[in-house]
Amino acid sequence: MRHYDFGPLYRATVGFDRVADMMDRLLANDVTQPSYPPYNIEKTGENGYRISIAVAGFAADELSVEVKENELVVAARKAPEETERAYLHRGIATRAFERRFALADHVRVTGATHVDGMLHLDLVREVPESLKPRRIEIATGGPQAIEAKEKEATGNTAKHADAAAV
């Protein structure tokens, strides 16, 4: 497996360390990635997402969902059984797990439901108004329009200065 050194990226940029860390995680050996429990990620709308995790055998109080620093952490710990059981076949895995999902900026978890052995996590991307694209009006006209705008701007400034002096 190849190993990439992101040291030069850290030295030449500010604020992109999350990107380099994410690249490191993605380029890590995929064989070690856990496959339990199985899950689905679906897009439910333009800015809506749902993560569904199969958690058969776990009660709602045995599951925990946390968001830490743009990372969603889902964990489960099975309480010890009070009575000993003799299984002839045990196909339902109830081993403890911790599953992590990296969240993009402005994505937040809006709710979690536990129904029929499935844990559903609803997420929404909320982009602030300041980051949304906006349309800039283009003024038409020649140099006269520009001069008129400049006079209007300096006239407003002079009016504000006169008002402040009073």
Residue with tokens 């008129």: 148
> pTM for this one?
0.64
All domains of the chain, ordered by start, with CATH?
A: 1-33 (no CATH), 37-81+89-140 (2.60.40.790)
pLDDT value at 159 more than 60? no
- pLDDT tens track for 27-77: 665 555 678 899 999 999 999 999 999 998 899 999 999 999 889 999 999
Tell me: pLDDT of 119 over 90. yes
Closest CA to 21 of 33, 10, 11: 10
Counting Cα atoms < 13 Å in the Cβ hemisphere of 150 gives: 5
Q: How many residues does the chain have?
A: 166
Higher pLDDT, 97 or 155: 97
Task: Tell me how far apart the alpha carbons of residues 159 and 166 are, in angstroms, rounded to a whole number.
Answer: 11
Query: Quick one: average pLDDT of 86-111?
Result: 89
Cβ neighbours of residue 145 under 8 Å, at least 6 residues apart? 139
The pair of three-digit structure tokens given for residue 120, joined into one six-digit string: 């559903």
Instruction: Report the chain's mean pLDDT, rounded to a whole number.
Output: 80
Mean pLDDT of the region 74-93: 86
Q: 50 by DSSP, 3-state: which? A: strand
- pLDDT above 60 for 165: no
